[in-house]
A and B are shown apart, each in its own frame.
Chain A
Amino acid sequence: MKNLDLYEWIAGSANDYTKPFRENEVLYNRARGFWHQLEGDGLIIIGIFVVLGILFAWCYYGPYNEKPGRHYKPKHWLIFTAITFVASFVLTLAFEYIAVAPKLDGALMLEVKIALGNAVYATLVYLLTSVVWCNWLPTNAYRLLKF
């Protein structure tokens, strides 16, 4: 399984992306090259959502709830969920843009879709980490997801 297969549900496959360029061999080769480069950075992209999902959950259940201000309320947890989503999206897109510049038609949209997918995955990781934290780890926050 390739790294970018994780994002097929939102960004489509390599075939879907290169198909419009088949008429023009130069563009087709560039499109394939673009995809391969993104694929090559796939582990970093995956790393971004894993790290950010865990990092923001840790931040919420750890240091943020060490501070006063009724941070234990679910409202704050939801704010952190949104932050995780947005931060993952922005960071992934920035990374993609710098790592593989989107010069072809549709390349930027592909990167946006992958960044959106990453934001969803980061949010899921945040959620899973929250479940783990609420059930087994020490925190001052309300254990909203405790079984």
Chain B
Amino acid sequence: MKKVFVFCVGGTGIRVMKSITMLMAGGMSTNGYTVVPVILDPHLDLEEKKNLHSLLETYEEIYKRSNNNGTSTLNPLKGFFNSEIRTINELNGISNDTQQNAGSQEKFRSYIDVANLDVSNINNYLVETMFSTKNLNNPLSVGFKGNPNVGTVVLGDMIEGADWFKSFKQQCEKEDRVFIISSIFGGTGASGYPLLEKKIRLAQNEPAVKNATMGAVTVLPYYGLKDPMLSNSDIDSANFYTKTKSALAYYHGTVKSDYLYYVGEKSLKQIYENDEKKQDDKANFIELVAASALFDFLKREKPDRQQFLTRAIEDDLESLDLASMGTGYKDVVKSVADYMLLRALIETLPHESFFPLATNRGFNGDFYKDATFQSLVKFTDIYYKWYSELSQNKRAFAPLHYDNLRQMSGWIKGYDLDAKDDSYYLLQMIKASNKDVSKEHSNKFRFFLQFAYEAINNYTEKINR
């Protein structure tokens, strides 16, 4: 089992991992790699972090149920949920969540032991020069509030002493890869990426870790925050570009990832509420682009020298479809279009009386009420909200017309699909079922995902041509 350890550093790391999960659900392949997400964010109570954990658990549940025949494990499906996600705890056979230990209620002042410095000690002046009083009084449990100077000090220890880092070093084998997701304009991500990379490259006793092919995506400023005076916040997005420039200057010649992807916006297009506790930011196109970097990375061989990559869009528009994004985004659009079509089927089929597969394959009332199908429904609800946010954010990722199931030929903007309404997909599901005469398994849920994908792909594969 080849693995890719995906380190999600800070809030942006969490949101990009969410996009990765959604793209995987929609059928994007990790090229045989099992994704092992490691969330590195000191926020103890961050809702986004809890939501991501819950989303990953639901994905895993769906994946396992679609690949298990009761007694044996089946080959991964083609299409939806084709790639595996496993937490680092599962690799170690631990059921509790070690990620919860990443943060601490301790104040930064106490962490660096300022109290033990003599008032006249020269180090006291150094501390006062480098850290503001607010910096020193902040508890570590709320993250580094856009202060990489704090993150740099704390994260080093936090990584080295963490159970997940020990587990990672134990579990990382030859052929495994490492991918780090971070933003460069905040506190946790900007400081976390180079530190984490350094810790990995210095793992002298673990050659598989030290020599792992490593990729990273660094997200440049893409959103702004409301005036910090209004919400009494410590984060001022007016500093994002300055911080970015400083961090880039530091990264230059310091970070050594084999592939380093830079993703960002031309300006801070969307302004969010400046609430560092909630960070309830809507899904953004830039996060989706950053997520696509992982899939690109997993297709590439280890390079002879460090590679720097980025992605462009065809037209600088506020609302993007496939034509304005460019043909390079076909796989992303297909994945999203396919999953949104799956959503349409999930909503329709439980109410579809006399659907032949209700008797032929057992897709009946009990099947739709079963916990496994309900997991799929739960995941799909989150997916729908995620896509809705993407399609309404600035800039908007809106390549679909998805509201009218009676007029579906324009489902993907700019393409005329042969399927004019949902009955085309239902019919293709029946045909896929009739064609499948194998007796390899009797997993209804797997059949459902398999036939739905074959039906959908029958019409949407044309966008890849």
Contacts and interface: CB of A to CB of B under 8 A. Distances in A.
B424 interface: yes
What's the interface size class on A, roughly? Answer: 10 to 19
A146 B359 contact: yes
A142 B353 CA distance: 10
A142 B354 contact: yes
Given A72-B354, A73-B354, A74-B354, A140 B427 contact: yes
A97 to B, nearest CB: 40
Given A72-B354, A72-B430, A73-B354, A142 B423 contact: no
Given A68-B421, A68-B427, A72-B430, A143 B355 contact: no
Contacts of B423: 68-70
Interface string A104-147: 00000000000000000000000000000000001011111010
B434 interface: yes
Nearest to A140: B430
Contacts of A70: 352, 423, 426
Nearest to B419: A68
A72 B359 contact: no
B360 A143 contact: yes
A66 to B, nearest CB: 8
Nearest to B352: A70
Interface string B337-376: 0000000000000001111100110000000000000000
Q: Is the interface of B mostly helix, strand, loop or mixed?
A: helix
Contact of A140 (B352, B353, B356, B424): B356
B433 to A, nearest CB: 9
B431 interface: yes
Interface string A46-71: 00000000000000000000111110
A140 B434 contact: yes
Nearest to B428: A68
Interface in B410-463: 419-421, 423-424, 426-427, 430-431, 434
Q: Which of B352, B423, B434 has the most CB of A within 10 A?
A: B423
Contacts of B430: 72, 140
Given A68-B421, A68-B423, A70-B423, A141 B356 contact: yes
Contacts of B419: 68
A69 B356 CA distance: 14
B349 to A, nearest CB: 12
A76 B427 CA distance: 15
Given A70-B426, A73-B354, A143 B359 contact: yes
A68 B354 CA distance: 15
B312 to A, nearest CB: 39
A141 B433 CA distance: 12
Contacts of A141: 356
B434 A142 contact: no
B406 to A, nearest CB: 12
21 contacts: A66-B427, A68-B419, A68-B420, A68-B421, A68-B424, A68-B426, A68-B427, A70-B423, A72-B356, A73-B353, A73-B354, A140-B430, A140-B431, A142-B354, A142-B355, A142-B356, A142-B359, A143-B356, A143-B359, A143-B360, A144-B354
What 10 pairs across the A-B complex have the smallest Cβ distances? Answer: A68-B423, A68-B424, A142-B354, A140-B430, A68-B427, A142-B356, A70-B423, A73-B354, A72-B356, A69-B423
Interface of B: 352-356, 359-360, 419-421, 423-424, 426-427, 430-431, 434
